[in-house]
Structure 1
Amino acid sequence: MRVTLLGTGDTTGTPTVGCDCATCERARERGVERSRFSVHVENDRTGEALLIDFSPDFRHQFLTQDVPLPDAALVTHIHFDHLDGLGNAYRLFDDLPVHATDVVDPVTEESVADTIRRKYDYLDRVHVHGHDPHERIRVCGLDVRFVPVDHPPLLCYGVVVEDPETGAKCSLTGDTSFGMPAETRSALADPDLLLADAIVPASSCEHHPLGGKHHDESGVPRTFGSKHMTREGALDLAAELDADRTRLVHLAHFYPADEAFAEPLAVDGETYDL
C-alpha cells in the first residue's frame, strides 16, 4: 500500500494567495507547497487507487504528482477544501464510486452522502454510496472505515485504511479536535502511518477568540479553538495511538517560519510504502 500526500494544507494552503508572511516566503524559497487536503492510496497488489477527499487543488495535484487517477474515493465531510474538487471529475471518469457516511447531520439536515448527491447531481458518472460509521467496507481491495471525530458544528469523520492481505494500516484523523470519541481512538490505534490534523502550534491559541481546550497536565492546549488539533495535541494523540510513523497535515501558514517545515510536519508529495 503506497500512500501519497497530495495536499497537506488547510483551507487557504501554503503559500497562501497574496500573503508575504515569513512562512509563505520560506515555502516559496524552498519550492514546496501545502495545497488543500487530499490523500492518495494505491493498492500495489491490485493496481487500484483510492482518493481520500477531493481538494479544490485536484487538477494541480494530479498534474504535479506521479499518481494514477482514483478508481474510487472517500469524502470525510462537506467543507469546501475537502469536497469541492469533485467537480474536476467532469469528463475524467467513466464511473467513479464515491463513499461517504449516511448519518443525517442536524445542522444541514442531510448526510454527507446526501450533500454530495445533491451538490453534484450533474455528474452522472459519479455514484455515491452511503455507509454507517465504523462499518467495514471493501474499496479497491482495501478495508476502509469512517470513524466519527469532533469538528463542530458539522459531522466529520476520520478514516482507517487497512490491507487485508498484508495487515498494513493507515489512520487519518480527519479534521478534528483532540476530543474524539474513545471508540474512534481505538479504531485509529496502532497504525503504520498516522496522518493527524495539526493546524497550528499551541502558542497560536492565544490569538483565537475561543483560545484553546483539552489542555495537557502542563496547561498546553491540544485543541485550537474548538475544531482542530494543535501540533502538541496531534503529537500527544500519536503517542497515545502508538503510531509507528506520524505526519502532521492540514497545516496553516500561521506556523512560525523557523518551525513550519520541521519534522514531523508534512509537505505535498511525500510518499510512504506500508
Structure 2
Amino acid sequence: MRVTLLGTGDTTGTPTVGCDCGTCREARRRGVERTRFSVHVENERTGETLLIDASPDFRQQFLREEASLPDAAVITHVHFDHLDGLGNVFRVLDSLDVYAANETDPATGESVAETVASDYHYLDQITVHPVTPLESVRICGFDVTLLPVDHPPMVCYGLVVSDPETGSKLSLTGDTSYAIPEPSREALAGADLLLADAIVPASVCAGHPAGGRHENSAGTPRTFGTKHMTREGALELADELGATRTRLVHLAHYYPAEDAFEEPLAVDGEVYEL
C-alpha cells in the first residue's frame, strides 16, 4: 500500500489566499503547501488507486505529484473542501466509482451518498455506491470501512483501509472532534499509519468563540470549538489507538510560524509505504 498525502490543509489551505501571517510567509519561504485535504492510496498488487476525498485542488495535486488517476473514491462528508474536486472527473476520467455512507444526515435530510449523487447528477462518469458505516466493503483490492465520527452539525466519517493480503492498515480520523464513538475508535486502532485531524494547537482555543472542549486532566482542550481536534487531542488519540506512525493533517495556518512545520505535522507530498 502506497499512501501519498495530496492535501494536508484545512478549508483555506496554507498559504492562505491574501494572507501574510508568519506561517503563510514561512510556507512560501520553504516552498511547501498544505492544500485542501485528499489522500491517494495505491494498491501496488492490483495497480488500482483509491482516492480519499476529492479536494478542490484535485488538478494541482495530481499534476504536482504525478499521481495516477483514481479508479475509485471515498467521500467522508459533504463539506466543499472534501467533495468539490469530483467536478474534475469531467473529460479526465471515463468512469469513477464513488463510495459514501448511506445514513441520512438530519442536518441535510440526505445521506452523503445521496448528496454526492444529486450534486453531480450531470456527470455520467460518476457512479455512486451507498455503503453502510462499520461494514467493510472491498474497493480497489482493499477492505474499506467508514466509521462515524463527531463533526457537528453534519455527519462525517473516518475510515480504515486494510490490505487483506499484506495486513497493512491505514486509519484516518476524518474531520472530527475528540469525541469519536467507541466502536469507531476500536476500528481505527492498531494502524501502521494514522492520519489525524489536528487543525490547531490547543493554545489557539482561547480565541475561538466556542473555546475548547474535551479537556484532559491537565485542562488542555482536545477539541477546538466543536468540530476538530487540537494537536494535543490528536496526539493523545494516537497514543490511545496505538498507531505505529502518526501524521497530523487538516492543518490551519493558525499554527504559530515557529511550530507550523514541526513533527509530526504533515505537508503535501509525503509518501508512505505500508
Distance in 2 separating the partners of 1:92 and 1:13:
24
Aligned to 2:59: 59
Aligned to 2:2: 2
Aligned to 1:81: 81
Distance in 1 separating the partners of 2:125 and 2:242:
40
Paired residues for 1:44-55 under 5 Å: 44-55=44-55
Aligned to 2:212: 212
- Compute the displacement of 1:66 (Å): 2.5
- Compute the displacement of 1:71 (Å): 0.4
In structure 2, the residue corresponding to 1:145 is in which secondary structure?
strand
Q: Which amino acid in 2 is paired with 1:79? A: H
In structure 2, the residue corresponding to 1:215 is in which secondary structure?
coil
Q: CA offsets, 1:34-84, max 9 Å, x none?
A: 000000000011110000000000000011003100000000000000000
Q: CA offsets, 1:121-160, max 9 Å, x none?
A: 0001100000111111000000000000000000000010
Matched, 1:126 2:126: yes
Q: Which amino acid in 2 is paired with 1:38? A: S
Q: Which amino acid in 1 is paired with 2:125? A: R
Distance in 2 separating the partners of 1:29 and 1:246:
26
Q: Which amino acid in 2 is paired with 1:31? A: G
TM-score (norm 2): 1.00
Matched, 1:182 2:182: yes
Aligned to 1:68: 68
Paired residues for 1:1-274 under 5 Å: 1-274=1-274
Give 5+ residue unaligned stretches, structure 2: none
In structure 2, the residue corresponding to 1:83 is in which secondary structure?
helix
Distance in 1 separating the partners of 2:66 and 2:171:
22
The Cα RMSD (Å) is 0.4
In structure 2, the residue corresponding to 1:3 is in which secondary structure?
strand
Identity %: 69
Q: Which amino acid in 2 is paired with 1:168? A: S
- Compute the displacement of 1:92 (Å): 1.1
Q: Which amino acid in 2 is paired with 1:46? A: T
In structure 2, the residue corresponding to 1:144 is in which secondary structure?
strand
Distance in 2 separating the partners of 1:52 and 1:72:
9
In structure 2, the residue corresponding to 1:203 is in which secondary structure?
helix
- Compute the displacement of 1:225 (Å): 0.2
Distance in 2 separating the partners of 1:105 and 1:151:
12
Q: Which amino acid in 2 is paired with 1:158? A: G
In structure 1, the residue corresponding to 2:6 is in which secondary structure?
strand
Distance in 2 separating the partners of 1:242 and 1:110:
35
In structure 1, the residue corresponding to 2:272 is in which secondary structure?
strand
Q: Which amino acid in 2 is paired with 1:150? A: D
Distance in 1 separating the partners of 2:272 and 2:87:
28
Q: Which amino acid in 2 is paired with 1:253? A: H
